[in-house]
Amino acid sequence: MAIRDFHLQITDEEQLKDIVQALNTSVRRKIMAMLSSSAYSIADLAKKLKLPISTVSFHINILRKAGFINVTVKRNTRGNAKLISRQIDHFSLDFNVDSHATETKTFSMEIPIGSFSDARIEASCGMANANEIIISDDLPGAFFSPERYGAQIIWFSKGYLEYRIPNYMLKDKHINSIKLSMEICSEAPNYKNEWESDITFWINGTEIATWVSPGDFGGRRGRLNPEWWSDFSTQYGVIKTLLITQDCVFLDETPVSTQNLTKLGVQQGDYITFRIGIKPDAKHQGGLNLFGEQFGDFAQGLIYSVDYK
């Protein structure tokens, strides 16, 4: 799992007030510790802490304000439940103040690949968690099943996935860059090492890059794949990194677009949308596989990082 860091200086008065409040009671510290191993509903947390749901909700709101947790709505048989997950693994505070320079800080989070907010998918398609296939092959309509939140590999031939990434940490900041990285490859029947696919990326509805994936990789086991996963299926991908700066967009280390942070409006609204998919008019419509932290070669989901001052 990626390390998600939050770094502040002693002069960051407003953010420090929220953080000090979030950590000044044992209940909230216990909640943060509990979330290290799993996400929980508010009802589950209340049961484990032996506290009323209303009390736990109060503490959750304070942790959320500080930026320590993420709250998503998950559908179940009894309606909707709020699922609580931790956004921060490491927090550091710098007491050294440089009066001649402003230090660059980094905020990073890992986004589960199954937490997409929108999808337009065509068969063949499916997804699996670490234990089993959770969305049967060739059932695009099942992609919004609540089980998707546990996905560790997602595959489809045509269409896209779209994620909403919170941007509260960007407010009133000077943003140097935003980085997104993921493990991906093409999608062929079983696997096919030579199977090109034009995989396109969008930010806030604007196309920023297309990568031609050379194949759907197999022939050896992915380093993280569970034992039950077939040797004849997709095994691993490659890490692709998008870097958006004040000047342009880079795919890995190559500039690919004149779009930039300002043109893409990353500090506007309540979230950033990130879409990954296959365009209907793509030359190579070879689908895609997106890997989570328990499949493929790299122990990560979708990694989102911001450098700011």
Q: What is the pLDDT of residue 3?
A: 44
More confident residue, 3 or 274: 274
Classify burial at 40, counting beta carbons within 10 Å of its beta carbon; exposed 0-12, middle 13-18, buried 19 or more: buried
Q: What is the pLDDT of residue 76?
A: 52
* 86, amino acid identity: R
Q: Cβ contacts of residue 147 below 8 Å, gap of 6+?
A: 129, 134, 135
- Does 149 lie in the same domain as 21? no
- Does 219 lie in the same domain as 87? no
91-120 pLDDT, tens digit per residue, is: 777 787 655 445 678 888 889 999 999 999
- Does 278 lie in the same domain as 254? yes
Indicate the residue among 52, 76, 100 that finishes a domain.
100
- Does 162 lie in the same domain as 82? no
- Does 43 lie in the same domain as 186? no
pLDDT over 70, % of the chain: 92
- Does 196 lie in the same domain as 66? no
Q: Are strands 5-9 and 90-94 parallel, antiparallel or unpaired?
A: parallel
Q: What is the pLDDT of residue 103?
A: 66
Element at 20 (helix H, strand E)? helix 13-23
Indicate the residue among 79, 100, 121 that finishes a domain.
100
Tell me the pLDDT band of 303, cut-offs 50, 70 and 90: very high
Taking residues 202-210, report their average pLDDT.
Answer: 98
Domain range for 43 is 5-100
- Does 125 lie in the same domain as 270? yes
Q: Are 193 and 289 in contact (CB under 8 A)?
A: no
Is the pLDDT assigned to residue 74 strictly greater than 70? Answer: no
Report the domain count for the chain. Answer: 2
- Does 264 lie in the same domain as 161? yes
Q: What is the pLDDT of residue 96?
A: 72
Q: What is the pLDDT of residue 93?
A: 78
- Does 68 lie in the same domain as 136? no
Indicate the residue among 70, 100, 130 that finishes a domain.
100
| CATH number of the domain where residue 35 is located | 1.10.10.10
- Does 202 lie in the same domain as 65? no
Q: Which of 1-5, 97-101, 121-125, 180-184 has the lowest mean pLDDT?
A: 1-5
- Does 289 lie in the same domain as 210? yes
- Does 35 lie in the same domain as 58? yes
Residue 252 sits at the vertex; the CA angle it makes with 251 and 258, to the nearest 5 degrees, is: 30
Taking residues 184-197, report their average pLDDT.
Answer: 96
| CATH number of the domain where residue 295 is located | 2.60.120.260
115-167 pLDDT, tens digit per residue, is: 999 999 988 899 999 999 998 777 888 899 999 999 999 999 999 999 999 88
